[in-house]
Amino acid sequence: MREKSEVRYLFWLHIGMKALFLAIVTAIFARCLSAQSTSAQELGATVRDQVRSYRHAHEREILGEFVRLLSIPNLASDPPKLERNAQAIAANLEGRGVDVKLLRVPGAPPVVYGWLRVPGARSTIGIYAHYDGQPVEAQQWQSSPFSPGLRDAAGHTIDWQSMTHYDGESRIYARSAGDDKAPIQATMSALDALRSLKEPLSVNVKFLLDGEEEVGSSHLPEILNNHPDTLAADIWLLCDGPLPPSRRMQVFFGTRGETDVEITVYGAAREMHSGNYGNWAPNPIVLLTHLLDSMRDTDAKILISGFYDDVRALAPSEQRALANFAASDEALKQEFAIAAPEGNGASLAEQLLKPALNVRGIRATDARVRQQVETHIERQGFFIVHQNPDIAIRRAHARVVKLEWTFAGQAFRTAMDNPAAQAIVKAIEQAKGLLSSRR
Ligand SMILES: [Zn+2]
């Protein structure tokens, strides 16, 4: 994605959205879309109140459409149903005047691409979300993940169809009710609200709705490369992420990239009894734990040479944001039963801004990570292969390690003083007034 020069800014709007938070998000999008042409003061209270009224008058309708979307199974293992999701979303967008194309490559669910052109608008906001969901373990569900139900804060089922208004602490129970169909529905409802208020959009809006995010979006680069204009926008909002424990709206100016490597080390060529060969035949588990231990200490510090070289120092605006961050570290420590977090006293927010090396995977800033890690492993005396080593290799080298790399995503950070980003932040601050109101 970074190679597209027309993408001027990438920006991650991180909104936790669940159930009736939908209504709040509706207002946020409404304000976002209007933010650029009218002064914040003028629009703020009026649009906020009007959107609130709209939402209040249409709660069951919004919920009904959302429930229909959530009822379509969206597992990676079921491509025909993913296709049904894409078709349903395309129809919903088209019903709102959006030009829709399903972008396809063989072997992947379609990307739903939409473009809402607004006469006279010079800027374009892109909205990314995904319609596929995490795998389902049926025995862990009290109700069917694709038969959405509403429950109150105590967990009791609510007969929502016989009601017109819902408590803000109620929750929809369904796969993808939060991650990540909520922003899709929220955006549609925002468009409905603005149309009903006769509030014209001041920006063009693009939609990029992914169907394989939960399995790594491996076809997305190819799909985008086939459609070079799809990514052209002034700013992209990546609407995917959890509600922070503080329950405050958060805007994330970037994301960690991700690089995964599967490491296999080798002992003898066949199984053997430790009574006969222990202490003589190399022990692969011990080799691996020592190798991992050489890469990262118990305080999250990465010991691989050069790993931190590309980490950009925090800009003053980022330092200020960090200082004002609503930390929930103490509550999280209680919830996760972690007495002593890693990081030598640094906050979670500070630690999130550094590269991390987890034994489950590696997250860092660019492809050079691969070279750095391989150099490090070689220095520990390992001979590196990327395929299964043949017997000759294993006879010739004392320590053989197989590395299987997968590239999962590029890291990026958006400047906090970026004007388009600041317009979004202002819009969210305006809409935030709704957070305290529940009906
Ligand atoms: Zn997601």
Say yes or no: 197 and 271 in one domain. Answer: no
User: Does residue 346 lie in a domain region?
Assistant: no
User: Does residue 299 lie in a domain region?
Assistant: yes
User: Does residue 4 lie in a domain region?
Assistant: no
Note whether 394 and 266 are within 8 A (CB): yes
pLDDT by residue, tens only, the chain of 439 residues: 332 222 222 223 223 233 233 333 444 444 444 444 445 555 567 888 888 899 999 999 999 999 999 999 999 999 999 999 999 999 999 999 999 999 999 999 999 999 999 999 989 999 999 999 999 998 999 999 999 999 999 999 999 999 999 998 899 999 999 999 999 999 999 999 989 988 888 899 999 999 999 998 989 989 989 998 888 898 899 999 877 777 777 788 887 777 778 888 888 888 888 788 888 988 888 888 899 899 999 899 999 998 888 888 888 988 888 888 878 898 888 888 888 899 988 888 888 888 777 765 433 355 677 888 899 999 999 999 999 999 999 999 989 999 988 766 777 788 888 888 888 888 777 777 644 443 3
Say yes or no: 213 and 230 in one domain. Answer: yes
Ligand 1 centroid–CA 130 distance in Å is: 7
Ligand 1 centroid–CA 181 distance in Å is: 9
- Rounded to the nearest 10 degrees, the angle between the axes of helix 21-34 and helix 419-431 is 140
Ligand 1 centroid–CA 180 distance in Å is: 5
pLDDT at 54: 93
Say yes or no: 329 and 384 in one domain. Answer: yes
Ligand 1 centroid–CA 421 distance in Å is: 21
Ligand 1 centroid–CA 176 distance in Å is: 8
User: Does residue 2 lie in a domain region?
Assistant: no
Ligand 1 centroid–CA 125 distance in Å is: 20
Say yes or no: 153 and 296 in one domain. Answer: no
- Say how far apart CA 393 and CA 434 lie, in whole Å: 65
Ligand 1 centroid–CA 283 distance in Å is: 39
pLDDT at 371: 85
CATH number at residue 297: 3.30.70.360
Ligand 1 centroid–CA 273 distance in Å is: 46
- Say how far apart CA 412 and CA 93 lie, in whole Å: 29
DSSP 399: S
Four-CA torsion 244, 250, 256, 262, nearest 10 degrees? 20
- Tokens representing residue 162 in the block: 């016989």
Say yes or no: 407 and 432 in one domain. Answer: no
Ligand 1 centroid–CA 287 distance in Å is: 36
Say yes or no: 160 and 240 in one domain. Answer: yes
Tell me the Cα Rg of the chain: 25
DSSP 296: B
Ligand 1 centroid–CA 92 distance in Å is: 20
Q: SS3 for 183?
A: helix
pLDDT at 42: 55
User: Does residue 24 lie in a domain region?
Assistant: yes
Ligand 1 centroid–CA 131 distance in Å is: 9
Ligand 1 centroid–CA 274 distance in Å is: 46
pLDDT at 43: 57
- 374 lies in which domain range? 258-341+353-411
Q: Which of 392, 393, 373 is nearest to 383 (CA)?
A: 393
Assign residue 223 a region: left if phi > 0, alpha if psi is -120 to 50, beta otherwise? alpha
Q: What is the helix (H) or strand (E) element at residue 71, kind and residue range? A: none
- Say how far apart CA 408 and CA 294 lie, in whole Å: 24
Sign of CA dihedral 191, 195, 197, 200: positive
Ligand 1 centroid–CA 136 distance in Å is: 14
Ligand 1 centroid–CA 233 distance in Å is: 21
pLDDT at 214: 94
Say yes or no: 304 and 388 in one domain. Answer: yes
Q: The whole model's pTM is what?
A: 0.73
- Tokens representing residue 132 in the block: 């596929």
- Tokens representing residue 183 in the block: 């922003």
Ligand 1 centroid–CA 306 distance in Å is: 31
| Total domains, the chain | 2
Residue 305 CB contacts under 8 Å (≥ 6 apart), including other chains: 372, 375, 376
Question: Angle at Cα 322 formed by Cα 320 and Cα 328, nearest 5°?
Answer: 145
Ligand 1 centroid–CA 364 distance in Å is: 20
Given the structure tokens 């150099």, which residue do they identify?
A: 375
pLDDT at 246: 77
Q: SS3 for 430?
A: helix
pLDDT at 92: 97
Q: Which residues surround ligand 1, an ion (CB under 5 A)?
A: 179-180, 240
Q: Which of 173, 179, 251 is nearest to 213 (CA)?
A: 179
- 209 by Cβ neighbours in 10 Å (0-12 / 13-18 / 19+) ranks as buried
Q: Which of 126, 349, 363, 393 is nearest to 244 (CA)?
A: 349
Ligand 1 centroid–CA 394 distance in Å is: 42
Given the structure tokens 């305290």, which residue do they identify?
A: 436
Say yes or no: 239 and 374 in one domain. Answer: no
Mark 293-320 as b/e (b = at least 16 C-beta within 10 Å): eebbeeebebebeebeeeeeeeeeebee
CATH number at residue 234: 3.40.630.10
pLDDT at 59: 93
Q: How is 35-61 classified by DSSP, letter by letter?
A: TTTS-HHHHHHHHHHHHHHHHHHTHHH
- 356 by Cβ neighbours in 10 Å (0-12 / 13-18 / 19+) ranks as middle
Q: Which of 218, 199, 219, 185 is nearest to 58 (CA)?
A: 185
